[in-house]
Amino acid sequence: MTEVVPGPWLRLTALAASGATLLAVVSGAAALGTAHRLLAALALPPLAALLVATWFSHRRLFGAAVATTALFGVAALVTMHGLHLALAGVAFASSLVVTALVHRPGFVPFGSWRDYVTLTKPRIMTLLMLTGFCGMVAGAHGLPRWSVAVGAMVGLAMACGGASAINHVLDRDIDKLMGERTRRRPVAAERVPPAYALEFGLALSAFSFALLASTVNVLTATLALVGNLFYVLVYTRWLKRSTPQNIVIGGAAGAVPPLVGWAAGTGSLAWPAAALFLLVFLWTPPHFWALALLIKRDYAAARIPMLPVVRGDRETTRQIVLYSLVLVGFSVVPFAAGWFGAVYLGAALALGAAFIWLAVALRRQTTPRRSATLFHYSLLYLALLFVAAAVGSVV
């Protein structure tokens, strides 16, 4: 990736790393115990983001970022109080050097705020946040205290937005080949430099972990980070370009938000949370393949092995019907296990019947209109099913 002047997101991340390192030093000097360990842990996400961003976009700063992170890590391992504080102080000084280097080249215009909003894929984020929110309500049997609920939703939004921004960077080559819809995306259209989009995504991901760990719990923060990394590294970087089963396996990334919400509401995971995860996991293939049928020429132009491109429409619609049957059949399990009540069961059966009917209709006559109908209905199906699960856990 061509090196450019550090952008505003890298500068913000560097400032956050310096501030968090300073708080770790001060809390250590004050012998705050658990608070000190928490503050020290919160310095790790921005330091990690600095490492990744400088490696890919600003190699001349990478050595300084490595030195800062290494000094901070060594300080954490040293148990002798005086030496521990001394090394932490050196790490803080090193972080200030990195921050100064990042800011040295001069002011860089922020760019269009609309492009940065687009990088977060807000339409996709809305559905992910809904499943996360419903998972939180279902787990807590109501709303947890407002600080936890707000922290969880903001942190989840930042994690989803960060992963989407990095997805824009990794997919910028194929976005230019997949028609007008993707060619106009900020990175593909070169309105936002790849380095700035990467910095933006890394900053959101780092701040998400710090926010969730500090206002909710570490389990919630870890789950959000795992979903982020799975989407970026496993699905976008590997599966999407290598196998027609990409969305089957990669769907696990989109199924993580209910786990994040459940962990936020309860502080742990349980079998009902796994059921919510599996509902999204099983829903993803028929939902996404309905869209893939509509834009298969775009995928073919970009040489992405989506199922309609590799196996054809007939096999794709067959798989859609099979997955729809499995999805609707599994959707009854949470009621049968006693996790969700009659409200949920009624919604699962009614919504599921319509889902199967549309899938079979598409199988009988594969047209763009029927593909679009199933695709849009599948969005409504998942949203209403999760709302029913949340409502059913409260009433």
Domain ranges of the chain: 8-103, 112-282, 310-395
Q: CA 108, CA 100: separation in Å to the nearest integer?
A: 15
Residue pLDDT, tens place only, 328-375: 999 999 999 999 989 999 999 999 999 999 999 999 999 999 999 999
pLDDT at 132 over 90: yes
Strands (DSSP E) contained in the chain are none
pLDDT, tens only, 83-106: 887 888 888 888 888 888 887 765
Computed over every residue of the chain, the mean pLDDT equals: 90
d(CA 213, CA 60): 31
Tokens describing residue 249: 């396996």
Round to whole Å and give the CA distance between 151 and 216: 7
Other Cβ atoms less than 10 A from the Cβ of 160: the count is 32
Query: Residue 380: is its pLDDT beyond 70?
Result: yes
Say if residue 326's pLDDT is above 70: yes
Q: What are phi and psi of 337, to 5 degrees?
A: -80, -5
- Tell me which of 2-6, 86-90, 113-117 is least confident: 2-6
The enclosing H or E element of 389 equals helix 368-394
pLDDT confidence tier of residue 77, bands split at 50, 70 and 90: confident
- Alpha helices per DSSP H over 141-217: 146-170, 172-175, 180-183, 194-215
What pLDDT is recorded for position 90? 85
CATH, range 112-282: 1.10.357.140
pLDDT band at 1 (very low <50, low <70, confident <90, very high): very low
